[in-house]
Amino acid sequence: MVPRDREVTAIRAALDCRADVCGVLIFGEPGVGKTTLARSVTQSLRMPAHWVAGAESARSVPLGIFASLLGSPMSGDPVAMLADAFEAVRREHFSVIGVDDIHLVDPLSATLLHQLAVEGSVRIVATARTAEPIPDTITALWKDGYLTRLDVGPFDKT
């Protein structure tokens, strides 16, 4: 991996959970290395992590990115679904939830991520494409100071 010392330092600081900040949202164009950077730093911290990825095809599935944790089909009640998902995540004792392409998550997954970040029960490392719209609940996380926003540009050729 090409060194990105400034970005690595920023991600590590955000995951140190000082004040209310307990995670990072990494923005950049496709192909600049957001996911590689996020996973590399997370692995270097040696914390239990669970990685998921948003996908256009799963955007209409409530809590779609968390399906592997939830197992059996859930009720149609969004409040009950959120409560069950929240407990499932906490039960796994993950230190970090990594979300690749967070701009593609369904609204209920975005709400769950918001609740987890606000409670501070897990660190969140997420990537997003710069030009894509982000769910309001995710935007609120960095605007309200729960996640650090980090913009990653193309590699510098120097």
Q: Kindly report, residue by residue over 63-109, the tens digit of the pLDDT.
A: 989 888 887 666 778 888 888 888 888 888 888 999 999 999 999 99
The answer to whether residue 44 scores a pLDDT higher than 60 is: yes
Answer whether 8's CB lies under 8 Å from 47's CB: no
Question: Is 19 part of a structural domain of the chain?
Answer: yes
Tell me, what's the pLDDT at 19?
Answer: 64
For residue 130, what are its two tokens? 């710069």
User: In which domain, by residue range, is 42 found?
Assistant: 5-151
Residue 158 in domain: no
pLDDT of 30 > 70? The answer is yes
Number of domains in the chain: 1
> Is the residue at 157 inside a domain?
no
What is the C-alpha separation between 158 and 47, in angstroms, rounded? 33
Whether residue 123 is predicted with pLDDT greater than 80 in this model: the reply is yes
Structure tokens given for 151:
């913009």
Instruction: State how far the Cα of 86 lies from the Cα of 100, in Å rounded to an integer.
Output: 19
Provide the CATH number for the domain around residue 74: 3.40.50.300
- Residue 38 corresponds to which tokens in the numbers above? 């996020």
- Mean pLDDT of all residues in 28-55: 91
Written as six digits, the tokens of 81 are 């679904």
